[in-house]
Homo-oligomer: A and B are copies of this chain.
């Protein structure tokens, strides 16, 4: 049976001041219509399967249920990256359903073309069911992005629309990224993975023995005493677990990897500048979330809380965001420097703003 596993453990700082330690990106109403990224991910997942579980931090369970009412939760006692989070979901789902097939989806991305995504997920689930593979959905790159990992296409087509993977590649330098876009053989790794639970557990056992030991402890408690004992085992074992990403720990090293190349309007919402693509622009090129006045001002990204106002006059290509007790202003071209502000606030001990 197909299960969507949504990973909602992130704690990004690149959308400060809207994203905070206690309010990561997936809980922000950034998608069109004010939907949260998590809410949109859950809704898109439900379009392909009625079995949806969200893996979340224990202290974000309430926020998760607020953004995605009625969803099943699997709470992690500490953040230990995606290999363990995906493994934990595989253990739990395999316990209840030995034939479980997982479709792993990040909670904090946006997808514009939901019909195409559903079709790609259908192909990916099918490939994972019919072959002993881990299938990913690869996004055709539109720019030489150095912030993403890449999937290098192989030559064999396993099924129509499903191609063998030659390599999973870490974030490239600019020259390499430019080559990747030009050669047409490289796709963005969007962090979506489809595989049978048993296959995931086997890969972790073979490639990440320390992670596997944690999962074995949880699985043993689950089999012997049930979910409460499994949660207790996780609380006991997580602190000593290594932090390894599924990309690095498994996908770069395993065999039997396939990819569905897809053009689904994917956006990782990795900065305020990315909001332009997610939310679109008005006739002046401004992207506005909330209540704003823009006079002689174009190509800005403006966001403010409900019940508050941002006014700009005579400025172009700026990001202006007001959220809660903080405001940030910086050029769109320097959207990544939000991180520097967060670092500076931490350096000054202004933790209340983080």
Contacts and interface: CB of A to CB of B under 8 A. Distances in A.
A119 interface: no
Nearest to A333: B314
A293 B341 contact: yes
A340 interface: yes
Contacts of A293: 341, 344-345, 348
Contacts of A330: 311-315
Interface string A257-269: 0000000000000
Interface string A307-320: 11111111100101
B329 A307 contact: no
A328 B311 contact: yes
A320 B315 CA distance: 12
A331 B315 contact: yes
B315 A318 contact: yes
A102 to B, nearest CB: 40
A14 interface: no
A322 interface: yes
A309 B329 CA distance: 11
Contacts of A337: 295, 313-314
A143 interface: no
A183 interface: no
A115 interface: no
Contacts of A334: 313-314
Interface of A: 17, 291, 293, 295, 304, 307-315, 318, 320, 322, 325-331, 334, 337-338, 340-341, 344-345, 348, 350, 353
11 contacts: A291-B350, A293-B345, A293-B348, A309-B326, A309-B345, A309-B353, A313-B329, A314-B330, A314-B334, A315-B331, A318-B329
Given A312-B329, A313-B329, 18 more contacts: A17-B309, A293-B345, A295-B337, A307-B325, A308-B326, A309-B350, A310-B328, A311-B329, A311-B344, A313-B328, A313-B334, A313-B341, A314-B334, A315-B331, A318-B329, A320-B327, A327-B327, A329-B329
